[in-house]
Structure 1
Amino acid sequence: MFESPLILRNVVHAMRRPERGLCARGAGPHIQSAWRRLSPGGGYSPAARVVSQRMLDLGLTGSMWRVLVYLQREDGRSQADLAKELEVSRASLGQMIDRLERSGHVRRRAHPDDRRIWRVFLTEKSREVMPSVGEKAQALHQQTFGRLAEDEHRAFIATLMTLRDSLR
């Protein structure tokens, strides 16, 4: 299942910090609810569909590229940590990691001090594709938000932050 919080999180942070782009930290754990409420029909947002389609060009599904982006921020995270951050169940994340491992994008390693914990690491294949992921996200950002005047842009960000804060 593709969920959209990463898109909004990264759009918000790319707008506030364009120099960090796709890899900036998220806007908050509850933004997905607000994003879905703002989406027509409460389902996938138009932005989510566009980003997913662009990432498919790289051979990545919506769930796959999201995991890679979080690992790019902090490689070697535990599966439990990733599941919490991505707001998915551990079982769902396990399936995502299985697909990424089969495709050669990640590898799992047992934690050196606790064999119950599996850490997930990017492979060279992932590192090679991440610049293209960032470029596609930046192009979408420019296409979407490049039309806003600076004061409109600031007002939009302020509105999103208000919505996020109201869900805490």
Structure 2
Amino acid sequence: MIIDDNDKGLGFLIAETARLHRKLLDRRLQPFGLTRAQWAVLAVLVRRDGRTQSEIAEELEIEKPTAGRLLDHLEQLAWIERRPTPADRRVWRVHIPPAARPRIAAVADVVRDTRHVMVQGLSADQQLLLVRQLGAIKTNMVAALGEAAGDPG
């Protein structure tokens, strides 16, 4: 494959695909009053309820104040609730209240459907190969960023 700055190659396709995914998902989450970022917080809590704001921020690779703003909004809409930790009053745990679980299940269905739209027409083997290849590309980029961070020039 020829790599040319004027060609709409791999980097363009990855970026454009990601942009379109974000746009479609945001559109589909709008009726729930959610954004992708807010859904990401909820997805973290679905996997393990009762995390702290710091743990959520770390897993999502976002700053703690950003996580705090997302949590504030989700709490206002009754998607989550914060509870004090008995062992340490400074630490609050974030939980999904029982009343929000059916709404979260409905949102999860929308997210799953959006993922199916993305891979429509690809066989299971092709999907697996694509995930592996994108994972390898991500690993290469993380390594390159690590090298660049250590490069004094």
The residue identity in structure 1 corresponding to 2:14 is L
Q: Is the alpha carbon distance of 1:50 and 1:162 closer, same or farther for their aligned partners in structure 2, counting shifts above 3 Å?
A: same
Name the structure 2 match of 1:95.
Answer: 69
The residue identity in structure 1 corresponding to 2:110 is K
Q: Is the alpha carbon distance of 1:54 and 1:81 closer, same or farther for their aligned partners in structure 2, counting shifts above 3 Å?
A: same
Q: Is the alpha carbon distance of 1:151 and 1:105 closer, same or farther for their aligned partners in structure 2, counting shifts above 3 Å?
A: closer
Name the structure 2 match of 1:118.
Answer: 92
Aligned counterparts, 1:1-168, within 5 A: 38-40=14-16, 45-166=19-140, 167-168=142-143
1:23-73 residue CA offsets vs partner (Å, 9 max, x unmatched): xxxxxxxxxxxx999313xxx611011111111122212222111111111
Q: Which has the higher contact order (CA 8 A, sep 6+)?
A: 1
Percent identity for Structure 1 against Structure 2: 27
Q: Is the alpha carbon distance of 1:105 and 1:81 closer, same or farther for their aligned partners in structure 2, counting shifts above 3 Å?
A: same
Q: Is the alpha carbon distance of 1:36 and 1:47 closer, same or farther for their aligned partners in structure 2, counting shifts above 3 Å?
A: same
**What stretches of structure 2 of length at least 5 have no aligned partner?**
1-10, 144-153
TM-score by length of 1: 0.70
1:91-114 residue CA offsets vs partner (Å, 9 max, x unmatched): 111111111111111111121111
- The count of corresponding residues between Structure 1 and Structure 2 is 132
Q: CA RMSD in A?
A: 2.3
Q: Is the alpha carbon distance of 1:123 and 1:142 closer, same or farther for their aligned partners in structure 2, counting shifts above 3 Å?
A: same
* Aligned 8 A contact 1:76 1:119 in 2: yes
- Structure having the higher Rg: 2
TM-score by length of 2: 0.77
**What stretches of structure 1 of length at least 5 have no aligned partner?**
1-34
**Distance (Å, rounded) in 2 between the aligned partners of 1:36 and 1:48:** 15
Q: Secondary structure at the match of 2:89?
A: coil
